[in-house]
C-alpha cells in the first residue's frame, strides 16, 4: 500500500510516500510539518528512506525521521548530509513488496533519481515529471532544460508500456494513463 503522508498539508513540502509491505519505506521525507505522528498512525517502524533528490522541501524532515526510527537514507549523492548511502544508476532496491530500479534523471537537480518497479508498473518520479505533462523546474541551481529532456526520455524508455502509475513530488499521483502524461511532459519540455 502507498500513502501520501503530506496529503492535505498546507506547508511548502514535497509529497511523502509511505510504502508498506515486505519492507516499509518512505520515498522522500518532506519538510515544514511534523511528519512523525503521520507515520506513527500507520506503522511503528520504517526500514529505509529513499530520496528522489536533495532539495530542502524533500529532505527537511530527514533528521527527525532518522532519530525517531533509527533509519538510514539512500540517494544519489552522499556529499549531502541527508544521504547516508549512495544508490547508483540502475541499482535495485526493495520498497514495499516490489523491487525498484533507481534511474538517475538529472535536469531538475544533479542528484535526481526516479524509482521504477517493472513487476507492478509503479514509478516514483520525484520532481522530474508531474500530472498533465508538467515537468521539473530548470531555473534553479543545477537545473538544465536539455538535460531534463534527456532524463524524461530516459525514464520513458525504462518504463515503456509497463508503467501503471506515477507518484510525483508535488500534486496528484498519475493513476490514469500515465504513459500519456510522460509523453506530454516530453513534448512540453521541448517547447519554450
Domains detected in the chain: 2-190 (3.60.15.10)
Tell me the whole-structure pTM to 2 decimals.
0.97
Cell of 51: 530520496
Cα separation of 112 and 83, whole Å?
Answer: 12
Query: Which portions of the chain are predicted below pLDDT 70?
Result: 192
Which pLDDT belongs to residue 125? 98
Cα separation of 183 and 124, whole Å?
Answer: 16
| Cβ count near 145 (within 10 Å) | 14
Which pLDDT belongs to residue 109? 98
Cell of 80: 549531502
Cα separation of 152 and 112, whole Å?
Answer: 12
Cα separation of 76 and 151, whole Å?
Answer: 15
| Cβ count near 73 (within 10 Å) | 22
Give 111-156 as a DSSP string.
T-EEEEETTTTEEEEETSB-GGG-B---SSTT--HHHHHHHHHHHH
* DSSP three-state, residue 98: strand
Which pLDDT belongs to residue 192? 65
Cα separation of 23 and 137, whole Å?
Answer: 32
Cα separation of 53 and 60, whole Å?
Answer: 12
Three-state SS string over 148-159 comes to: HHHHHHHHHHHH
Amino acid at each position: 500500500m502507498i500513502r501520501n503522508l503530506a496529503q492535505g498539508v498546507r506547508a511548502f513540502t514535497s509529497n511523502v510516500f509511505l510504502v508498506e509491505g515486505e519492507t516499509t519505506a518512505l520515498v522522500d521525507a518532506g519538510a515544514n510539518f511534523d511528519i512523525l505522528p503521520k507515520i506513527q498512525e500507520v506503522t511503528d517502524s520504517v526500514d529505509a528512506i529513499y530520496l528522489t533528490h536533495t532539495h530542502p522541501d524533500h529532505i527537511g524532515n530527514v533528521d527527525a525521521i532518522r532519530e525517531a526510527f533509527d533509519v538510514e537514507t539512500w540517494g544519489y549523492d552522499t556529499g549531502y548530509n541527508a544521504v547516508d548511502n549512495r544508490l547508483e544508476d540502475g541499482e535495485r532496491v526493495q520498497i514495499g513488496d516490489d523491487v525498484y530500479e533507481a534511474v538517475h534523471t538529472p535536469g531538475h537537480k544533479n542528484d535526481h533519481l526516479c524509482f521504477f518497479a517493472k513487476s507492478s508498473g509503479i514509478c516514483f518520479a520525484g520532481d522530474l515529471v508531474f500530472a498533465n505533462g508538467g515537468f521539473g523546474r530548470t531555473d534553479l541551481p543545477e537545473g538544465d532544460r536539455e538535460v531534463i529532456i534527456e532524463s524524461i526520455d530516459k525514464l520513458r524508455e525504462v518504463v515503456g508500456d509497463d508503467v501503471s502509475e506515477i507518484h510525483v513530488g508535488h500534486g496528484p499521483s498519475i493513476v490514469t494513463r500515465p504513459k500519456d502524461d510522460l509523453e506530454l511532459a516530453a513534448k512540453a519540455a521541448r517547447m519554450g
